[in-house]
Amino acid sequence: MLKVENLHKSYQVGKNTYEVLKGVSLEVKKGEFVAVMGPSGSGKTTLLNCISCYIPAGSGSIRLGDTELARLDEDSLAEIRNQKLGFVFQDFLLLDGLTVRQNILLPSIIGGLVTDLVERRADQLCEVFGISGIQDKYPAEISGGEKQRTAVARALINHPLLILADEPTGNLDSKSTRTVIRSFEQAKDSLEATIFMVTHDSYAASFCDRVVILRDGVVWRALEKNAEDREHFQDRLLDSIREMGRE
């Protein structure tokens, strides 16, 4: 589904060059829920921005399905972002002047693809994520958890190949965090979604199938959940983070 190979990215500040990604390679398979963790400055957000092609990588390969993203022009990239990638952000980025349902339909509205089938898809997503009762409300009238569930539904409206989530629980309390993570689980289990999430939260990451830990621009370790329960997987994540800190 997503394959990143030997990805490098540097920033030039004055006469100084700062290498942020130093040969990152990873793969996300269809139907997986994968998290990326790491300390501040490890390259998590830069990696996500390179995958979405909002910033160009210095070198390396980013393949989404059979498409090499770095070779596409801006028009083709805009089409990929609208039709094959879904985005969930820490700050929700809902439009205040649109209802919940209209926000969910927004990617299809932008693409000029609002059909009866898409309308039914929006209704299905509202049911899956438990927001049918608020679909006619505006963002100012709903909770943070409801806003993020709306954002997840919006990300799924066009049947994307991959959802990219950037710290989706960063502004939420523990109860809302669990609700949003449950939304991702529902998207994976019921809608066969593939999710790539950047997070600093070991609790949120412990619900994933696999966690990739970045350190200083490289993949330091990758942990797979296997058959263990969530609590034991979180313990392993915390042990790895403590070990990285000691090193």
| Burial (0-12, 13-18, 19+ Cβ within 10 Å), 74 | exposed
**Residues 108-148 pLDDT 10s:** 888 787 889 999 999 999 998 899 999 999 999 999 889 98
Would you say 106 and 95 are in contact if contact means Cβ atoms under 8 Å apart?
yes
**Residues 35-92 pLDDT 10s:** 999 998 899 999 999 998 888 899 999 999 989 988 888 889 888 888 889 999 888 8
pLDDT higher than threshold 90 for residue 231: yes
Closest CA to 171 of 191, 195, 201, 141: 201
* Token couple for 122: 């929006």
- Predicted local confidence at residue 29, as pLDDT: 95
Dihedral (Cα; 127, 129, 135, 139), 10-degree rounding: 180
- Predicted local confidence at residue 183, as pLDDT: 87
**Residues 166-224 pLDDT 10s:** 998 888 888 888 888 988 998 898 888 999 999 999 999 999 999 999 999 999 999 99
Answer positive or negative: Cα dihedral of 38, 43, 47, 48.
positive
pLDDT higher than threshold 80 for residue 247: no
Which run of H or of E encompasses 174? Answer: helix 174-191
Where does the pLDDT of residue 32 fall: very low under 50, low under 70, confident under 90, or very high at 90 and above? very high
**What is the spatial distance between Cα 54 and Cα 78, in angstroms, rounded to a whole number?**
10
**What is the spatial distance between Cα 31 and Cα 132, in angstroms, rounded to a whole number?**
25
Which residue reads 């899956």 in tokens?
Answer: 128
Pairing mode of beta strands 162-166, 195-198: parallel
- What SS3 class is residue 152? helix
Closest CA to 27 of 184, 243, 222, 240: 222
| Burial (0-12, 13-18, 19+ Cβ within 10 Å), 39 | middle
Would you say 107 and 157 are in contact if contact means Cβ atoms under 8 Å apart?
yes
* Token couple for 196: 């790539």
* Token couple for 186: 């529902």
Would you say 34 and 211 are in contact if contact means Cβ atoms under 8 Å apart?
yes
